[in-house]
Structure 1
Amino acid sequence: MGTSVIAPAAADAQSADPGLNPNQILNVAHRGASGYAPEHTIPSYELGEEMKGDYIEIDIQMTKDGELIAMHDETLDRTTDGTGLVKDHTLEEIKQLDAGSWFNEEYPELAKEEYEGLEVPTLDEVLDQFGKSANYYIETKSPEVYPGMEEKLLETLNEHGLLGKNSPSSKVLIQSFSPESLQKIHKIDSTIPLIQLLWYTSSATLTDTELEQYKQYAVGLGMNHDQIDEKYVQKVRDHDLSIHPYTVNEKEDMEKLLDWGVTGMFTNYPDRLQEVLKSK
């Protein structure tokens, strides 16, 4: 199968036409090229771009003083030499942490001296670094923990000229496991294409009613690729929703998902997905 058509935006979200290329499968660099470099660091994002990832995926958390940073976890412990909750630390405190050495220790075969002492980037810094030439796939993490996260995110994107009539609507996709977070964003700006992330589910438990509800504000769904089958993919596609499973790292799984009809996927190895797409 050479290409898969990306479904148009749902009728109820037509003003948020995602403008995605119907002949392109989205290769989303998950936390950057995080299979090769420390996740959510500038080098990881740069590598994702070099490896032909279509989107830089950024998880955002909010600091004690209301700044958005690129980090997956609510806590600092796993990917820095700090400890405790992000929300209990100021940006200045977090900027003192080492966000790269853990990777060298965990993956010595991929270790690079330049990874030592890497800073946790702010969303502003990522957008400054890659500008309007890049595409961004941003996830609001734990929005219930961070009041005002959505407003701050949209304000930041606007400041960088990434929203509005002068920017392609596919330049930024926003995803979340929280329907409330996405609905809040949709209410503020219905032109932004949104992706509803789902926890464990199956084609048997995913109902037509639920899919139509998602279409009220989202243009697509994302879910664990291990939890779905071809019937699931087609059910989502039949409702004119895009489908972007995560996190797909093996070529065999990439090929299978493409044959099933997914319209994109998240991977820690965007070079692998690029090779699979070229071969197809």
Structure 2
Amino acid sequence: MRLLFFILVILCLVAGCDNQDGNIQPIANDKFLIIAHRGASAFAPEHTMIAYEIAHEADVDYIEIDLQMTKDGVLVAMHDEKVDRTTNGTGFVKEYTLEELKQLNAGKWFNEEYPGLANREFEQEEVPTLEEIFMHFGDDVNYYIELKSPRIYKGMEEELFALLKKYDLIRETQDLPKVIVESFNEDSLTNFHALGPALPLIQLFSFKEKATLSHSDYKRLQTYASGIGVNIKSVDQDFIHDAQLNGLQVHLYSIKNEIDVKNAFRLDVNGVFIDNPTFGEHLPQEES
């Protein structure tokens, strides 16, 4: 039954379902996607080169990169708007020039918070720019990029689009898309869709109670999004199937243990954001 449902979903995605915008890029792949949440953040300081390297070595489908922007307009990998939690600095990213941000230690906090995983090499890590990540990994990985705080960063979408063009990452592929862009901010995604309609977009949601979307919600999403990202505690299989039959993939965040991975797989979702990418190595086999 599970295989039959996925066949129906794939046919729906390829055909576009009720999608009113012919420019929407479907993610027409039946593979259960493993997305390394902030890199391999269970093993190394999040959003550092070493965290991305570990994720790459684990052969994940995507490395996730949250974006903030410096005072001088450079896109950098960091989850929070402030540097306090993951560096030895204080204040907002937007108050730092790149040169100033590069003086901060981006790994020592991890050793202090997780002494059992401490590694002296982590204390050599700095905050990477998005361009440095592209230069380092090139075509060797797929990128899942979040426009994290676009409301406070003028020109963030344009800067991301320019970098993707510079490194030839905006292109159709026979396999998985090279780049997926996500955000909680709908305006940012619709603006980005106008810039790069060839890129699949994921609208993020955080539901405090049971996840639900109306018919009008789906109609709106179908004008720009290829899928949705939803917090795992809020969903059930009915919601997931409804979204998929409306032409949207469903990716769940954030997976903290192997049981959650297997539960997500049984719910028929299309992928998971996971701190420990090795949890995806022993998924149940497809049912016949």
TM value normalised by structure 1: 0.93
| Alpha-carbon separation, structure 1, partners of 2:146 and 2:190 | 14
Of residues 221, 226, 232, the one that matches 2:233 is: 226
Name the structure 2 match of 1:91. Answer: 98
| Alpha-carbon separation, structure 2, partners of 1:278 and 1:112 | 36
| Alpha-carbon separation, structure 2, partners of 1:197 and 1:277 | 27
Residue 149 of structure 2 aligns to a residue in which SS? coil
| Alpha-carbon separation, structure 2, partners of 1:106 and 1:279 | 38
Q: Which amino acid aligns with 1:16?
A: I
8 Å CA contact 1:12–1:215 kept in 2: the answer is: yes
- Report the RMSD for the aligned CA atoms in angstroms: 2.1
Please show how residues 18-167 of structure 1 align to structure 2 within 5 Å.
18-20=26-28, 22-164=29-171
8 Å CA contact 1:4–1:258 kept in 2: the answer is: no
Q: Deviations 1:224-243 (Å, cap 9, x if unpaired)?
A: 10111112111211212100
| Alpha-carbon separation, structure 2, partners of 1:167 and 1:144 | 34
Q: Does residue 208 of structure 1 match 2:215?
A: yes
Instruction: Out of 241-250 and 8-17, give the one that drifted further.
Output: 8-17
Identity of aligned residues (%): 42
| Alpha-carbon separation, structure 2, partners of 1:167 and 1:43 | 29
Q: Does residue 242 of structure 1 match 2:243?
A: no
Q: Which amino acid aligns with 1:220?
A: G
Q: Does residue 185 of structure 1 match 2:214?
A: no
8 Å CA contact 1:81–1:98 kept in 2: the answer is: yes
Cα 1:153/1:118, change in 2 over 3 Å: same
What is the Cα deviation at residue 222 of structure 1? 0.2
Q: Deviations 1:207-264 (Å, cap 9, x if unpaired)?
A: 1221121111001000110111112111211212100010012222211221111001
| Alpha-carbon separation, structure 2, partners of 1:202 and 1:232 | 13
| Alpha-carbon separation, structure 1, partners of 2:27 and 2:235 | 26
Q: Which amino acid aligns with 2:155?
A: G
Q: Does residue 267 of structure 1 match 2:269?
A: no
Q: Which amino acid aligns with 1:43?
A: I
8 Å CA contact 2:45–2:106 kept in 1: the answer is: yes
Q: Which amino acid aligns with 2:272?
A: M
Residue 152 of structure 2 aligns to a residue in which SS? coil
What is the Cα deviation at residue 166 of structure 1? 7.9
8 Å CA contact 1:101–1:115 kept in 2: the answer is: yes
Q: Deviations 1:86-126 (Å, cap 9, x if unpaired)?
A: 00110000000000010011001111110013110000000
Residue 197 of structure 2 aligns to a residue in which SS? coil
| Alpha-carbon separation, structure 1, partners of 2:110 and 2:51 | 11
8 Å CA contact 2:171–2:178 kept in 1: the answer is: no
Instruction: Out of 1-10 and 209-218, give the one that drifted further.
Output: 1-10
Please, which runs of 5 or more residues in structure 2 have no aligned partner?
Answer: none
| Alpha-carbon separation, structure 2, partners of 1:90 and 1:279 | 50
Count residues with an aligned counterpart.
279
